[in-house]
Amino acid sequence: MFDHLSNSLQKTFKNLRGYGKLSEKNVTDALREIRLALLEADVHFQVVKDFIRQVKEKALGQEVLASVSPGQQFTKCVQDELTELLGRDHKAFDLSANPTMIMMLGLHGAGKTTTTGKLAAKFSRAGRKVLLVACDIRRPAAVEQLNVLAGQVGVDVVNPNPGESVPELGMRARDRAMTQGYNLVIFDTGGRFQVDDELVRELEELRDMVNPQNTVLVVDAAMGQESVNVAQTFHERVNLTGLILTKLDGDARGGAALSIQSVVGVPIHLVGVGEKTEDLEDFHPDRLASRILGMGDVVTLVEKAQDMVDETSMAKMEKQLLKGDLNFEDMLSQMQQMKKLGPIDKLMEMMPGMPQVSAEERQRMADQGKVQSRRFEAIILSMTPKERRKPHVINAKRKQRIARGAGTRVKDVNDLIKQFNQAKKMTKKLKKQQKKLLRFSK
Ligand SMILES: Nc1nc2c(ncn2[C@@H]2O[C@H](COP(=O)(O)OP(=O)(O)OP(=O)(O)O)[C@@H](O)[C@H]2O)c(=O)[nH]1
Ligand SMILES: [Mg+2]
C-alpha cells in the first residue's frame, strides 16, 4: 500500500546522503519533496503541515546540520516523527476484564465480520475461550457468514432468535459468557452506508447493555480521506476506544493509515492485510515507519515465523545447522516450513531494501521463486533416502536418474546441488562463528 510514498521518500533521502554537509536550503528542499509525497499519498493536509513543521524544527537544530552524517540524521528525524504520527507505541486491546467484551462497529463492507473471524482465530490460538455474537439481525446472510467463519476457527456463536432486539441478544450473550466461562466476547454489529441516527441509537443501546471495554471501529483504509471523516464521526457519536484498519494489502495510497490516529486521537490496534483468517497484524508504529522508509520490518517477519512455523522442526533444524552437516532432508523440510509463512511477495515486503522493489517486480520474483522451489522439491523427492542423507554419493549417473524421475533436466539437478553447497558453506561459517562466540563468553 505504501509503495509509491516509500519510493518518493527514499529518493529524497538518497539525494541527501550525497552531501557531506547539509545547508538549510538542502533541508528545505528535502522537506518540500516529503510534503509533496505525503500529500500525494492522500495524507490529511493539516497532518502534513504539522509533520513538516516538527521535522523542520528538529532538522534545523544543531544535531542534524552539525552531525557527521547529516543525511542519516535527517532520515532518523523523519523516522521518529513518522513513528510519532502513527501513535508511537503499539497499543493492545484492554483485556483486563473477564470476560472481556469487544464491540465491532463500522460501515458496510469495512471488514467487521471478516476481522471478527480473524480476532477469534488470534485469541483462540493464544488460549482464550472465545464467543462470537451475530448482531447483524437484519441480514440473514451476515449471520450465516459469521457462523461459517466461526466453524472454520472452531469457536462458538450466539445467533439472534426470531423477534429478538439487538440489546436483548447482547444481554443473552453476556449472560452466556458469564455462566459458561468464556474469556472473550466479540459482538459483530451490522453496517450501514453512512452513520445515521438509527445506527447510532442501535449501537448505543447495545453498548449500554453489554458495557464493552473495547469499542472498536473497523475502517477500510482503501477509502482514503473519507475513512478519516467516517472515523471522526463515529468517535463523536459513540466514543471509540480503538481502530482496526483493513485492506492495507490493497494498492490505495495509504494516507488514511497515516492520518487517522492523529486526527481522531484513538489508537490503531491492528491492521488487516488480506482476506484470510491469518491476515491480521498487530499495528506497531515504529515498524510501519521503518517499512515505509525502506528499512524493512524484520521483527514482524520473525514473529510471523514463530507464530506459523512449528517449533520442534525449527529446533531440529537449528541443531542440524549448528552441527554443520546439512543434507537434502533438512533442505526439504526447510522448504516446506517456508511455504507455511505465506506468499513470498508479502514476506519480501518486510525485508530491508525490498520495499524499493516495485510490487510487480516482487510478484515476478515470487513467481519465479515458487517455480524453482517446486522444481527443487520434485528433485529432492526423486532422490533415494541414501542420496538425500549423503549428498556426496550423487554422481553423473544418479543425476540423470534423479532428473528423469523429477521430470526436469540434469542442469536443474546441478543448480540444486550448487545451492545446497552454498547453504552448506554458510552453515559451516555459522558454526565457526558460534564457536568463536562461545570462546569469548567463557
Ligand atoms: N484484501 C482485503 N480484503 C478484506 C480485508 N478485510 C476484509 N476484506 C474483504 O472485504 C469484504 C467485506 O468484508 P466483511 O467482513 O463482510 O465486511 P462487514 O464490515 O462485515 O460488512 P457488512 O456486514 O456488510 O456491514 C469481504 O470481501 C472481505 O473478504 C483485508 O484486510 N484485506
Ligand atoms: Mg458483516
Most confident of 17-21, 67-71, 72-76, 265-269: 265-269
How far are the Cα atoms of 105, 174, 189 from residue 206, in angstroms, in the given order? 11, 11, 9
Q: Where is pLDDT greater, at 382 or 322?
A: 382
Euclidean distance between CA atoms 428 and 434, whole angstroms: 10
pLDDT given for residue 244 in this prediction:
96
Instruction: Indicate the SS3 state at residue 184.
Output: strand
Instruction: Indicate the SS3 state at residue 100.
Output: strand
Bridge partners (DSSP) of residue 103 are 187, 215
Reported as a pLDDT band with limits 50, 70 and 90, residue 301 is low
Q: Is 222 in the pocket of ligand 1 (CB under 6 A)?
A: no
pLDDT given for residue 309 in this prediction:
61
Point out the ligand 1 atom lying closest to the alpha carbon of residue 188. 20
Euclidean distance between CA atoms 339 and 227, whole angstroms: 34
Q: Is 119 in the pocket of ligand 1 (CB under 6 A)?
A: no
How far are the Cα atoms of 102, 111, 220, 265, 322 from residue 115, in angstroms, in the given order? 12, 6, 11, 22, 41
Task: Answer yes or no: is pLDDT of 407 > 80.
Answer: yes
pLDDT given for residue 194 in this prediction:
75
Centre of ligand 1 from the C-alpha of residue 110, in Å: 5
Point out the ligand 1 atom lying closest to the alpha carbon of residue 190. 25
Q: Where is pLDDT greater, at 139 or 206?
A: 206
The b-or-e profile of 221-243 (16+ CB within 10 A means b, else e) is: bbbbbebbebbbebbebbebbbb
CB atoms within 10 A of CB 272: 24
Among 221, 225, 270, 228, residue whose Cα is nearest residue 248: 221
Counting ligand 1 atoms within 8 A of each CB, the residue from 114, 136, 220, 346 with the most, and so the one to mutate, is 114
Euclidean distance between CA atoms 188 and 142, whole angstroms: 9
Q: Is 223 in the pocket of ligand 1 (CB under 6 A)?
A: no
- The set of long-range contacts for 262-266, using a CB threshold of 8 Å and a minimum separation of 24, is 262/47, 262/50, 262/85, 262/87, 263/44, 263/46, 263/47, 263/228, 263/231, 263/232, 264/228, 264/231, 264/232, 264/235, 264/240, 265/235, 266/235, 266/240, 266/241, 266/242
Question: 151 exposed, middle or buried (CB, 10 Å; 0-12, 13-18, 19+)?
Answer: exposed
Centre of ligand 1 from the C-alpha of residue 112, in Å: 7
CB 241 within 8 A of CB 260: no
Instruction: Indicate the SS3 state at residue 347.
Output: helix
Atom 21, ligand 1: which residue's CA is nearest? 109
Share of the chain above pLDDT 70, in %: 84
- Residues 6 or more apart whose CB falls under 8 angstroms from that of 62 comprise none
- Residues 6 or more apart whose CB falls under 8 angstroms from that of 202 comprise 166, 189, 190
Centre of ligand 1 from the C-alpha of residue 85, in Å: 26
Nearest ligand (C-alpha, residue 106):
1
Centre of ligand 2 from the C-alpha of residue 203, in Å: 14
Element containing residue 426 per DSSP (H, E): helix 410-441
Centre of ligand 1 from the C-alpha of residue 260, in Å: 19
Q: Is 273 in the pocket of ligand 1 (CB under 6 A)?
A: yes
Helices (H) and strands (E) in the chain, counts: 20, 8
Counting ligand 1 atoms within 8 A of each CB, the residue from 147, 275, 278 with the most, and so the one to mutate, is 275
CB 289 within 8 A of CB 9: no
CB atoms within 10 A of CB 320: 17
- pLDDT (tens digit per residue) in 147-201: 999 999 999 999 999 999 999 999 999 999 999 999 999 999 988 777 778 888 8
Domains plus CATH for the chain?
3-85 (1.20.120.140), 100-295 (3.40.50.300), 303-441 (1.10.260.30)
Share of the chain above pLDDT 90, in %: 43
Centre of ligand 2 from the C-alpha of residue 34, in Å: 38
Considering only 94-98, 149-153, 327-331, which range has the smallest mean pLDDT? 327-331
